[in-house]
Every structure is written in structure tokens, then in C-alpha cells.
Amino acid sequence: MEAAILNPDCYSNMPLIPIISFENQWKKISTVEKVMKIITNKKSIASAKNLDKALGHCIDAIYGMGIKHTAQLKKSLKFFYEAKVSIDEFVDYLSGYIMDDELSSELFELLKSHQSKLEYIIDYIELVLLTADAIKKTKKQKKYYTSQELIAELVA
């Protein structure tokens, strides 16, 4: 494991924490980029309120893996969203957070050996964000359908 320090210019509003890369596992998952584009593109997020909800559930998912500092992580994720930092920076940050000293070496080994957990979190975040976006868009619509009307419109 290799430790590094966050760029203070980029993260001036945040406390500096150690960042540790672990074989760039997150970068190997193509979905990460897709999800992070959603997170970093404000236009695709329903609203700040929905973003909070989305991030809250994201934190819940990560918390289920043993992360302790949910409030700080939530704040940090909001920071990334507002600052529109790059995907790589987010990945480095999050992987560093998962490698917090308070987490056991056993969890580190689990993270390394069970890629499915990372995929689970990514799937979770993606569906939460898509749902938040869908809720916003359905609320804006004025036209409601009977099933037959909808079927007629759906059929090419």
C-alpha cells in the first residue's frame, strides 16, 4: 500500500486525509465512469434534496461494508459533486477512505478479494440516482395514460 496526500488546492475545504491506492480496483470497473458522470453532472440530478437522498443511500451501502464516518463521507461526496472533480480523483479519494486505518486488515482483504462488493455498491448508486431522476421527471409530466393509451404510444 502506498500513501499520498490530497492536493490541497483542489480540496481546500476538506481536512487532509491519507489516500492509499489499492491496485486501482475501482478504475477497472467500467460502470464507475458511467456512475460518476451522473454524479458529477448536475443537470442529470433531480435536485439537491434528491441528491442528498441518493448520497445518503450510497453512504448506507458503503456503511454496510464497515465504514464508520458516514457524516464525513457524505459531506465529502457532496463536495465532490459540487466541485465536479474528476473521476480519478473521486476514485482515489473513495478508495483511500475505504482504507481508513480504523478498518481492519480483514476488511481490506475482503475488498481486494471480493470484487462483487464494489460492483454491488456501484449498482446501488446507479439505480438510486436513476430513480431520483425518474421521480423528478414523472412529477413534471402533465399527461397521464390509461394502459391502452400508453400501449398505443409505445408501439412503434
Partner 1 sequence: MYKLNPSPQAKAKLSELINSKYRKGIENKLEALEKDPSNLGKPIDNRPFGDYYINAGNRYAITYIVDENKKRVDILEVPRQEKLHKLLLDYKFPY
Interface residue list for partner 1 (CB under 8 A)? 53-54, 57, 64-66, 107, 110, 117, 120, 123-124, 127-128, 130-135, 137-139, 141, 144-148, 150-151, 154-156
- Minimum CB separation of residue 45 from partner 1 in Å reads 14
Q: Which three cell numbers stand for residue 21?
A: 491506492
CB 136 → partner 1: shortest distance, Å? 9
Amino acid at 37: K
Side chain identity at 147, as an amino acid letter?
Answer: S
Q: Based on CB atoms, which residue is closest to partner 1, 3 or 151?
A: 151
The span from the CA of 97 to the CA of 102, in Å, is 10
Exposed/middle/buried for residue 41 (C-beta within 10 Å: 0-12, 13-18, 19+):
exposed
Instruction: Report the residue number, 101 or 116, with the smaller CB distance to partner 1.
Output: 116
Least separation, in Å, of the C-beta of 49 and partner 1? Answer: 13
Of 42 and 84, which CB lies nearer to partner 1 in the complex structure?
A: 42
Q: How many CB atoms lie within 10 A of CB 116?
A: 9
Task: Decide whether 88 or 123 has the Cβ nearer to partner 1.
Answer: 123
User: Shortest gap between Cβ of 6 and partner 1 (angstroms)?
Assistant: 29
**Is residue 63 a contact partner of residue 117, using CB atoms and an 8 Å limit?**
no
Rg (CA), the chain: 18
